[in-house]
Amino acid sequence: LEQPFLKALPVLFALMKQGYEAYFVGGSVRDHIMGRTIGDIDIATSARPEQVQALFEKVIPIGIEHGTVVVQYKGDSYEVTTYRVDGDYNDFRHPDEVTYVATIEEDLSRRDFTMNAMAMDFNGEIIDPYNGQDAIHNSIIETVGEAPVRFQEDPLRMMRALRFSSQLGFTISEMTLNAIIESAYLLEKIAVERIAIEFDKLVKGENIHSSFALLIESTLVYYLPVFKNIPSLTKVINKLPFQPLKGIEEAIAIFVLSKPEVVVSTFTTEWKCSNKVKKEAEQLVNIYMKRHFKPFKWIVYQLGEDHLDSYQRLLSIIDNEDVSLEVLKENFQDLPIHSKRELALSGNDLKSWFPNCKPGPWLKTYMNQIEEDVVLGNVQNDKEAIEMWVKKWKQHEES
């Protein structure tokens, strides 16, 4: 066993010591078999949530109504879920009820794809009733059980199939893909926040380009918010040479910049994105649209170090323009200042230089102009130099 599992072993052993069964399950077992970096470790157990709660010091009961508690142990969190199968999914959100079951095999049967339906014991022994290992060796995504039934139960699984294909580079099996085409319309029943989480993971994946093609081939794209009302937007994602993105905010910026009739808020409202995503997308769009009208240095400054890579991808994907990230970084490093905070004057300095002028909007206008002039190297970032420079303008303005 490798490190993240070793670290979690005491949690498994604590359960086993009380006579319960406990296994590692889901994504971590898949990633272990694939030799990928292990993400979150999930545990399945025969113990009931209250029994798990009683066993550990730090337990957060999020999801307890679905049989899940989060155990915190030595700085890591583990989702510990009681063996269960789902009831009906009449509201397409959560199963109506959760039924606890006796065996790990039954628990594995409710899981979405065969590659995700494996368990591993403390020894590294794999329990694999649905041949998930074969699916992994053949790079195939296939549902556990009948695909149409599984998508009817929870249509989000269709989006999950596509995001896994983006992350792992796997092919969706013919039967599973056909079932997605048949059931795609059910996606409209799913809470948009859940779709957005999968979409965000999809655009970060290595194989985003082929997964976007799959969004169209599977017809899922026609049931996604915004896309369903603007079919021509689909042409955008069909044409652009996508590469792994930072996240949904970058994807939104690309859609908006490629399609003048949509704005960021159309997306962020319909997809119920966080304010952070909205702000980031808007910032990228605004700066990108200015790039032909403002000096390159100003663009680089406005982006800030954290957005240089996004800008590089936008240029490459939207305008087929390849600029190296190194060059962008060098240009940023060479700027006289890297943020407003580094400016050698404050608003109060500015006021004190013109004691006869009432404070007003002119202060902000002046500060902005000074900032730009310092960034562009028109004036040194030095208080006296700036004072002379500003006083010269002001005279000019008044004469």
Site of interaction with ligand ATP (CB under 6 A): 26-27, 39-40, 42, 111-112, 116-117, 154, 156-157
From ligand ATP, Mg ion, none, interface partner of 268 (C-beta below 5 to 8 A by class): none
Least distance to ligand ATP, CB of residue 267, Å: 23
Q: Which range of residues in 22-30, 112-120, 121-129, 275-283 is near Mg ion by CB under 5 A?
A: 22-30
Q: Which range of residues in 19-27, 30-38, 66-74, 83-91 is near Mg ion by CB under 5 A?
A: 19-27
User: CA nearest 169: which of 145, 141, 128?
Assistant: 141
Q: Interaction with Mg ion in 31-70: which residues (CB under 5 A)? A: 40
From Mg ion, ligand ATP, none, interface partner of 116 (C-beta below 5 to 8 A by class): ligand ATP
What helix, strand, coil percent values describe the chain, rounded to 5?
A: 55, 10, 35
Least distance to ligand ATP, CB of residue 117, Å: 6
- Which one, 40 or 326, has the nearer CB to Mg ion? 40
Does 76 interact with Mg ion (rule: CB under 5 A)? no
Least distance to Mg ion, CB of residue 39, Å: 5
C-alpha to C-alpha distance for 255 and 293, rounded to whole angstroms: 21
From ligand ATP, Mg ion, none, interface partner of 111 (C-beta below 5 to 8 A by class): ligand ATP
C-alpha to C-alpha distance for 22 and 26, rounded to whole angstroms: 13
Cα angle 154, 156, 160; round to 5: 125
Amino acid at 171: T
Residue owning tokens 């889901």 = 26
Least distance to ligand ATP, CB of residue 110, Å: 6
Least distance to ligand ATP, CB of residue 38, Å: 9
CB 28 within 8 A of CB 38: yes
CA distances from 15 to 44, 49, 78, 112, 387 (A): 10, 12, 13, 26, 71
CB 154 within 8 A of CB 89: yes
* Bridge partners, 78 (sequence order): 71
Backbone angles phi, psi at 84, to 5 degrees: -155, 160
CB 24 within 8 A of CB 6: no
Least distance to ligand ATP, CB of residue 50, Å: 22
Least distance to Mg ion, CB of residue 297, Å: 43
- Which one, 27 or 205, has the nearer CB to Mg ion? 27
From Mg ion, ligand ATP, none, interface partner of 68 (C-beta below 5 to 8 A by class): none
Does 163 interact with Mg ion (rule: CB under 5 A)? no
From ligand ATP, Mg ion, none, interface partner of 370 (C-beta below 5 to 8 A by class): none
Segment (H or E) for 202: helix 192-204
Binding site for Mg ion (CB under 5 A): 27, 40
